[in-house]
A and B are shown apart, each in its own frame.
Chain A
Amino acid sequence: MHAATAKTPDLAIDLTGVHKRYGKKVHALRGVDMQVRRGEVFGLLGPNGAGKSTLVKILMTVIRPTKCAGTVLGDRVGKKSTLARVGYLPEHHAFAGYLTGRQVVDYFGAMQGVPRKARRARTEQLLELVGMKEWADQKVRKYSKGMRQRVGIAQSLIADPELVLLDEPTDGVDPVGRRDIRRIVEHVKGEGRTVLLNSHLLSELEMVCDRVSILVKGQVATQGSLDELTAGDRRFEIRCTAPLPAAAATDLAERVGDGSPTSIDGSVVRINTTDPEAIQPVLCRLNEMGAVIEHVEAKKPSLEELFLRAVEQPGSATPGADRGGSKEADS
């Protein structure tokens, strides 16, 4: 693999205060700070219109930022020569229908300056990797959406990139295809590449991403690893067969080992702790009270819950996470 760049050896993308305005009215990005570490799979989330694709396009020089300080692979954002080391699959890409899958991969390899011999060898490898070798000589216009996505991923990897930006790679792909793409992403990560994944499918991201950033209204609402983002919201849930009296809440709360907040919602007791020992006295007390325990589960919020919270309450920063990556201060 490529050697890490000396300037920011541990960061593939390091952005500070990225702004993008369209005219005077639309402020698509309002000072995005984002850091993507080398070798990780980074998920970029956000509702429609949050500015995710705009941010990715700025990184790929498709859109010019209004204001931007930062680096991609150690070079300033917008430097064309850096793009030879970056793979990109845009959202809603449209390959020329008159080309075959093999020609698409080869063409974009040539555009990235890959020598012909290396291109040919790598095209074969990548078509194999994305499961398109059998259909490589068919015209793209005959491909299904999923096949186009696979070829798109192959072309994004043709230049042996250090960084791969995949914008909605599972868009329009069936569950089997999504699983395959997830495996490809894991494979790419296994090769030591950095992957920035922009997707609406939160469950997919949850399975492959090391860290995520949630963009809301052109700003990073929260950013960090899933463990960091969910640290403050982990809890144990004890489900009983019958509803418990609300008055029992105080009694149970006094028995929690570490004094974590406790609440009762019908037949469910929620204890906001990650320590299993702390809930043992509660379980004993429930037995004493004659309650029949049906299920005990260590719960943490899903990425979807985090996402919805960030979108619906944009001001609420998740404990353990940051709002601008590894930097402490928010701009």
Chain B
Amino acid sequence: MISQTWAIVVDGYRELHAKKLFWATMLLSGLVVAAFGATSINENGIGVLGYTIEVTLPAGVTSELWYNFLFLTFGTFWITWVASILGLITTAGIIPDFVSGGAIELSLSKPISRVRLFLTKYFVGLLFVTLQVSVFTVACLLVFGIRGGNWDFRLLLAIPVVVCFFSYLHCVCALAGVITRSTIAALLVTILFWFIVFLVNAAETTLYMQRAEAEARSSTNSQVADNFEALTREQLIAARSLEEDAPTSTGWEPSDDEILAANPFIQSRRDAAERSERSARSITPWYRGVRVAELTLPKTGDTIDLLSRYLPTPEEMFGLPDADDAVVDVSGDASDIDDRKINNAAQASGALAVVEAARTRPVWSILGTSLAFEAVILAIACLIFRRRDF
């Protein structure tokens, strides 16, 4: 049994070894790591090959944070987008070639079950990205350690995370490969699927942000209205007490109508709050629908974002919103509060809510639902492979 599995693994390596794209990707990965190593930071800005680009970096940016920043931005972009696309192109043919006429007969005629044969072949397909990411990450670790003294071994988390991410796509590619037996079709279906996942994720994020924005706008407008109402009430009571014919200055309360009549701005804020609340309510069912779709699909973006949870980075370098921007000061007379200010704060609040939601989403939920999807797809592929006549 072990000899069969090992034979398939060795054969998979030989197959990758024979592909020029494998080595081209490896070479490009080396160039990216070399480019990282060519940079450094100093008191004047960013050093590149001995030259300094004078830029103002956020306070407290150390070499460690700089290299983590490079890895989390350009590095993850490289291994999750460029290297993954190259990986898909390279590995898309593994299953279609495996099930093509002339090749599959020999494999099926051996004393090995079809399911084990298929799954072994599937996992061998992950070998490409495993090798690529391992080489890239270890090279980054060495370069960052030697150049910046940043021996942060948490960087190695990129290996399982990216392999996991790639496996979500690879399982779809395998299923399409079994069904169509065509490399091109498998590749196109996978890229289409990736695009759909991206769209659903983007829709979920957008709707979540829009709803958070609407809720923040509603809340701020309500607070402003309440604040103005209290202020106006006080002003009316004070004005009443100054009137000569007032029966008494104590215990008198202006009615709501009197308050609203005295300050029309209150009503306009209340209307705005209600509009925003209606907007939030109308978004909710759409959000729930998209969320269900997102839950059933693999979390490609969230999986990669897991890396940023464990690697310390200066947040301002990523242009993350400031929590202070999301708060509108409604104290005092708040005479300078207008729609523009409330909208800006709501937008910042929405963006923060998205960041917060992404950070607080449980790891088991991200990986669990994604791997469950992968398991279902693989089960379907195995079933088809097991029952098909070749």
A interface with B by C-beta (< 8 Å): 22, 57, 60-64, 80-84, 86, 88, 90, 92-99, 103, 107-108, 110-116, 155
Q: Cβ of A84 and Cβ of B111 under 8 Å apart? A: yes
Whether the pair B105, A62 counts as a contact (CB closer than 8 A) is yes
**Chain A residue with the shortest CB-CB distance to B14:** A98
A98, B101: Cβ atoms under 8 Å?
no
A98-B17 contact in complex given A83-B111, A110-B3, A111-B112, C-beta closer than 8 Å: yes
Contact between chains at B102 and A61 (CB < 8 Å) = no
Output the nearest chain A residue to B107 by Cβ-Cβ distance: A111
Q: Are A115 and B3 touching (Cβ within 8 A)?
A: yes
User: Mind listing 28 A-B residue pairs with CB under 8 Å?
Assistant: A57-B105, A57-B389, A57-B390, A60-B105, A60-B108, A61-B109, A62-B108, A64-B387, A80-B111, A80-B113, A84-B111, A86-B109, A88-B105, A88-B109, A90-B109, A93-B102, A93-B103, A93-B105, A94-B102, A97-B18, A98-B18, A107-B7, A107-B11, A110-B3, A111-B107, A112-B111, A113-B1, A115-B3
Type the 1/0 row for B84-118, where 1 means its CB is closer than 8 Å to any CB of A: 00000000000000001111111111111100000
Q: Find B108's partner among A61, A97, A107 (CB 8 Å cutoff).
A: A61
Q: Is the CB of A108 within 8 A of B15?
A: no
**Do residues A83 and B110 form an inter-chain contact, with CB atoms below 8 A?**
yes
Q: Which residue of A lies closest to B103 (CB)?
A: A94
Chain A residues closer than 8 Å to B17, beta-carbon distance = 98
Complex contact B7–A111 (CB within 8 A): yes
**Are B15 and A98 neighbours in the complex by a CB distance under 8 Å?**
yes
B308: A residues at CB distance < 8 A: none
- CA separation between A94 and B390, bound complex, in Å? 14
Task: Give the residue name and chain of the A residue nearest to B8 (CB).
Answer: A111
Q: Is the interface of B mostly helix, strand, loop or mixed?
A: helix
Among residues of B, the one whose C-beta sits closest to the C-beta of A86 is B109
On chain B, the residues within 8 Å of A93 by CB distance are 102-103, 105-106
Across the interface, which residues of A come within 8 angstroms of B15, CB to CB?
96, 98
Which B residues lie at the A interface, using CB under 8 A? Answer: 1, 3-4, 6-8, 10-11, 14-15, 17-18, 100-113, 387, 389-390
Q: Which residues of B are found within 8 Å of A99, using beta-carbon distances? A: 11, 14
A112 to B18 Cα, complex, angstroms: 24
Please name the residue on chain B nearest to A80 by beta carbon: B111
Beta-carbon contact of A62 and B387 below 8 Å: no
Chain B residue nearest to A82 (CB atoms) is: B111
Which B residues are CB-close (under 8 A) to A95? 103
Contact B103 A96 (CB under 8 A): yes
> In the complex, how many angstroms separate the beta carbon of B286 from the nearest chain A beta carbon?
44
- 4 further A-B contacts with Cβ under 8 Å, apart from A57-B389, A96-B103, are A57-B390, A86-B109, A99-B11, A108-B106
- Assess the B108–A81 pair: CB atoms within 8 A: no
Whether A80 and B112, one on each chain, are in contact in the complex, defined by CB atoms closer than 8 angstroms, is: yes
CB–CB B4/A111 < 8 A: yes
Assembly CA distance A110 to B113 (angstroms): 15
Closest chain B residue, CB of each to CB of A92: B102
B4 touches A110 (CB 8 A): yes
A152: nearest chain-B partner, CB-CB: B106
B108 proximity list for chain A (CB < 8 A): 60-62
Closest 4 A/B residue pairs (Cβ): A94-B102, A98-B18, A110-B7, A90-B105
Bound: A155/B107 CA distance, A? 12
Given known A-B contacts A81-B111, A110-B4, A111-B112, A88 and B106 have beta carbons under 8 A apart:
yes
| Closest B residue to A97 using CB positions | B18
How far, in whole Å, are A61 and B385 apart by their CA atoms in the complex? 13
Are B109 and A113 within 8 A (Cβ)? no
Residue of A nearest to B101 (CB): A92
Q: Which residues of B contact A96 (CB under 8 A)?
A: 11, 14-15, 103
CB B221 to nearest CB in A, in angstroms, measures 66
Which single residue of chain A is at the shortest CB-CB distance from B3?
A: A110
Within the complex, which residue of A90, A94, A108, A115 is in contact with B110, where a contact is CB–CB below 8 Å? A108
Enumerate chain A residues within 8 angstroms of B109, measured Cβ to Cβ: 60-62, 83, 86, 88, 90
Q: In the complex, which residues of chain B have a beta carbon less than 8 angstroms from the beta carbon of A97?
A: 18
Query: Nearest chain B CB to A299's CB is how many angstroms away?
Result: 40
B101: chain A residues within 8 A (beta carbon): 92, 94
B389 touches A64 (CB 8 A): yes
Closest residue of B by beta carbon distance from A59? B109
A96, B102: Cα distance in complex, Å: 10
Q: Are A90 and B111 in contact (CB under 8 A)?
A: no
Please name all residues of chain B whose beta carbon is closer than 8 Å to the beta carbon of A88 when the two chains form the complex: 105-106, 109
Collect the chain B residues with CB atoms within 8 Å of residue A108's CB.
106, 110
CA distance A22 to B108 in the complex (A): 19
Output the residue of B4, B7, B106 with the most chain A CB within 10 A: B106
B3 nearest CB across to chain A (Å): 5
CB-defined contacts of A82 to chain B, threshold 8 Å? 111
Cβ of A216 to closest chain B Cβ, rounded Å: 22
How many Å from the CB of A169 to the closest CB on chain B? 14
